[in-house]
Chain A
């Protein structure tokens, strides 16, 4: 089988390694050769052996959660996120077309996402050395309002969850977690969002949820909002105790005040 392939001449553009503002992705091979962003001009053609590529039947892309256009340090919740997290970046789809405005989180300040909540298992207490399961209750949701003078919808999607466990440790998770029952595992088993307290005491657990946002006008396509919004959830309080097993003479359920119960 012989296919005809156009011969390309590449015009090197100066310093063309930036991806922002372009619609093409720079591939690994281009990055290595330092030829990102080159303009390819077709000036001729040649023939050589090869196998024609048959188009793959790629399935329809599932409706994944929206992309966060920000850099990682903006995605990660932290107390002093750089100001650039809230500033419009040059380039991209929005900057290049006048009819698609670039919208930042500052523009949607009047759209307030519903704060998430957190719960824990066991409820209000924990056993030192065993996993305590924390999980968030939040889902993507749409808020209506006015944006740039027009009626608009803003969709908030929880992206990451930052737990401060009150014992000096904290963790950022990509999942909101779930109950042991929902996860199909036994009580006190580790979960993606569980935490082990080593010391006895009383602790307050705080959760911050980072939301990405998208907007749309009049049922049009969803477009990303630049920036993320971090909202605190409710605080949880728990007491960490110790557990030990003792053998008693009678059934403690039947006689809770019995010796040893």
Chain B
């Protein structure tokens, strides 16, 4: 069967080329009548070729967000605008509020948080962009919080080791995934 298909392809091309030549010839004989042409169809290159590629990009984008969030937190919340390239405009409002809290309380962090991707929950391609939701196990139990005097003020009852749904979006214009939401699922633990 593949052999048959292979021979059909070139034949179609030949037929197509002949047809095109005939059409052009007729058009040339038509006394200058304009040949109607189709407007070029705008094409958009998919942001991701496959779900696996999207998942890898989501993991990378979330890691970049966590890294920058951790850096700003470790510096006491100064220059919080550095988080902007990693989040949506709406999420940025929350981020700035969070780092403002750090500055107001005079706290900073030490240590790194980690995560591992459990699975992709949703991969949605719509005109104009891509949305990806993944489940991750996020663990910040190694991150400690210190006040201005260097005293460890890490709350004991914080939730820093849980299953989260991470939603990232990429708009065609930006072609880069940014964090939209980050929701803990209290019913499941890692």
Contact = CB atoms under 8 A, between A and B. Distances in A.
A29 B107 CA distance: 11
B29 to A, nearest CB: 39
Query: Which DSSP category, helix, strand, loop or mixed, fits chain A's interface?
Result: loop
B157 A15 contact: yes
Contacts of A19: 183-184
B185 interface: yes
B102 A29 contact: yes
The secondary-structure label for the interface of chain B is mixed
B149 interface: no
B140 A32 contact: yes
Interface in B91-120: 91, 94-95, 97-105, 107, 109, 113, 120
Contacts of A71: 185-188
A242 interface: no
B152 interface: no
Interface in B150-190: 154-155, 157-160, 163, 165, 169, 171-174, 181-188
B68 to A, nearest CB: 10
A58 interface: yes
Contacts of B121: 72, 75, 174
A228 to B, nearest CB: 13
Contacts of A30: 98, 101
A261 to B, nearest CB: 15
B140 A51 contact: no
B69 A28 contact: yes
A257 B117 CA distance: 55
A158 to B, nearest CB: 11
B122 A32 contact: no
Interface string A8-40: 111000010101000011111111111100101
Nearest to A58: B89
Contact of B94 (A24, A51, A55): A24
A35 B154 CA distance: 11
Nearest to B127: A62
Interface in B128-154: 128-129, 131, 135, 140, 143, 145, 154
Given A33-B73, A33-B109, 20 more contacts: A10-B105, A19-B184, A26-B94, A27-B94, A28-B69, A28-B98, A31-B140, A32-B109, A32-B113, A33-B105, A34-B155, A35-B101, A60-B128, A61-B169, A64-B126, A65-B124, A72-B185, A73-B187, A174-B123, A192-B50
Contacts of B64: none
A84 interface: yes
A32 B138 CA distance: 11
B105 to A, nearest CB: 6
Contacts of A15: 157
Contacts of B186: 71
B140 to A, nearest CB: 5
Contacts of B91: 25
A223 to B, nearest CB: 18
Given A62-B127, A62-B129, A71-B187, A29 B105 contact: no
B158 A31 contact: yes
Contact of A29 (B95, B126, B163, B185): B95
B51 interface: yes
Contacts of A219: none
B61 interface: no
Given A33-B145, A60-B128, A62-B126, A27 B98 contact: yes
Contacts of A31: 140, 158-160, 184
B72 interface: yes
Nearest to B178: A58
Interface string A206-246: 00000000000000000000000000000000000000000
Contacts of B140: 28, 31-32
Contacts of A175: 51, 123
Given A25-B91, A27-B98, A29-B98, A64 B131 contact: yes
A106 B133 CA distance: 26
A205 B19 CA distance: 47
B51 A192 contact: yes
